[in-house]
Amino acid sequence: MKKRRALVTGCAGFLGSHLVVRLLQEGFSVVGVDNLITGTKRNIEQIEGDFRFLELDVTTGLWLEEDFDRIYHFASPASPADYIQYPIQTLKVGALGTHNVLGLAKACGGRVLLASTSEVYGDPEISPQTEDYWGHVNPIGPRGVYDEAKRFAEAMVMAYHRVHGVETRIARIFNTYGPRMRRNDGRVVPTFIDQILRGEPLTVHGDGKQTRSFTYVDDTIDGIFRLMEFENSERAFLPVNIGSSDEKTLLELAALVARLAGRDYEIRYCPLPVDDPKVRRPDITRAREWLGWEPRVTLEEGLRRTIAWFRGRSPF
């Protein structure tokens, strides 16, 4: 049989690099593209197999003279630290980048999956968040550049599906953690791990009672892969939450990280960022019923693996 070909935008990022490895394991020939604004070649330099990397910016064009069976659109700054530093680039990759990716999918007949986000729900007024919830987003706040970029990207994906018949998938990805996250990523798991290993106070914004749901990267990638391969003409194009329904406060997370690292800790409280969500927990009924998917790695086990990786990468 002819080997299937996949394109991954944002391949040098945290999630994109893990996805490349999974696709190679599944027997795909993979082309990865990244402009390396927030991604790093370190994430992909050890990848072996039928993989080719191209350094390019999907917002300026995606003229590849190749056909792809599967196109995964992961290009975008994804942490608050990144999209606040690169607000215009974030908006452009959500709009122009998504448009270019969909144009390629239309031209080659490939199926495309958008890596969307729980941030489309904003600071939600309901919990857990179902895919039918339209969200509570401040479009002019500092987080709006990411929230609205992803909301626009979803609208663009649906337009290409309805108008041009492109096979599309939308994965709304909740907080994911694991090896290959940057220490200065700005997200809470790498921040806590880096601080505890350095013997520094753990930075908690607000009172620390706001909640998040954390999914280990292997589980997230498995859910994404299953969604892409999901065959159901009446459902497959609809958004699907990919995340853990196990909700933790940031104070609970801080205590768990410290215990697993075997360190004493103290908390340093900081002001809550503008529009920071108070709750974040997905309803994963669609993922369970449609994909047969739910997270398998416990938070404790996933944090053990992640702490071990950080210890192996830095001189703590």
Positions marked active-site:
146
The phi and psi torsions of 189 (rounded to 5 degrees) equal -65, -55
Say if residues 167 and 111 touch (Cβ distance below 8 Å).
yes
**Cα 79 from Cα 249, distance rounded (Å):** 19
Q: Which residue has the tokens 């406060």?
A: 249
Q: Which residues neighbour 270 within 8 Å (Cβ) at sequence distance 6 or greater?
A: 203, 204, 205
Q: Which residues neighbour 109 within 8 Å (Cβ) at sequence distance 6 or greater?
A: 67
The phi and psi torsions of 205 (rounded to 5 degrees) equal -90, 140
Partner residues linked to 173 by β-bridges: 117, 242
**Beta pairing class for 176-177 and 29-34:** unpaired
SS (H, E, C) 123-179: CCCCCCECCCCCCECCCCCCCHHHHHHHHHHHHHHHHHHHHHCCCEEEEEECCEECC
Give me 29's structure tokens.
Answer: 């020939």
Q: Burial level of 304, CB count in 10 A (0-12/13-18/19+)?
A: middle
